[in-house]
Amino acid sequence: MARTVAGLVPFTSIDFPGYLAAVIFFQGCPLRCPFCHNPNLQSVTESLQTWQEAFDFLKTRQKRLDGVVLSGGEPLMQPDVQNMLQQLKDLGFKTAIHTSGVYPDRLREILPFLDWVGLDIKGPWDKYDILSGRKKMVEKVQESLKILIGSDVDFECRTTCDPNHLTPADTLQIAQDLKKMGVQTYALQKYNTFPEDKSPPSVMEIESFFTSESLSPIQKLYPKLIVRK
């Protein structure tokens, strides 16, 4: 069964909160977000690394790392993601996944194999078609969110604050909508420019999301708001 591994980061302290982990990136994503930082992972091409190569490396990191994160792209596009998570569990690793939430049925299936989920929230619900580059995705994301809220798996919702497509008012709206649904952990992530960025925002525009004026009303909703800059 094909596994479209794009690469592996051998060590991270930020992608799996509270744990030292490795990150495996996969090719393939059904979304076409205009602010995507990994556009080279949207399409599936020849794998740059095999799953077995990544797995063999992780065998050498048992008891040195706490966990492994599956990321992308969209890792839930992998048809046998459950088997991969089981293999990682068998090595003694805690497991995490970064997902856009557009495969709620598959997320439900793999929850017993997960210790943590990072759920990307692209923008306010009424802007989702534009911000995801695909229509009718918002219902799938909301279903994934309901699944996580009803589970025992630790998770966070997070939004990348891209000034070209979002405003501080948008992030407040997102925070309010998520709170109404029962979300307890929310993170705002700083937008970082990248080489393919055709219209990079200014530093002032980027920082506008992180002024006390912008953050204060969100922090009232989430006293432990996570800010990643």
Residues 21-65: tens digit of each pLDDT: 999 999 989 998 877 777 766 767 766 678 999 999 999 999 999
Among 153, 26, 22, smallest CA distance to 93 is for 22
Residue 11, SS3 per DSSP:
strand
Residues 58-111: tens digit of each pLDDT: 999 999 999 999 999 999 999 899 999 999 999 999 999 999 999 999 999 999
Q: What is the CATH number of domain 5-228?
A: 3.20.20.70
Q: What are the phi and psi torsion angles at 128 (to 5°)?
A: -65, -35
Q: For the chain, give every domain's residue range.
A: 5-228
Q: Give me the sheet containing 21-26, strands edge to edge.
A: 5-12, 21-26, 67-71, 94-99, 116-120, 154-161, 186-190, 226-228
pTM: 0.94
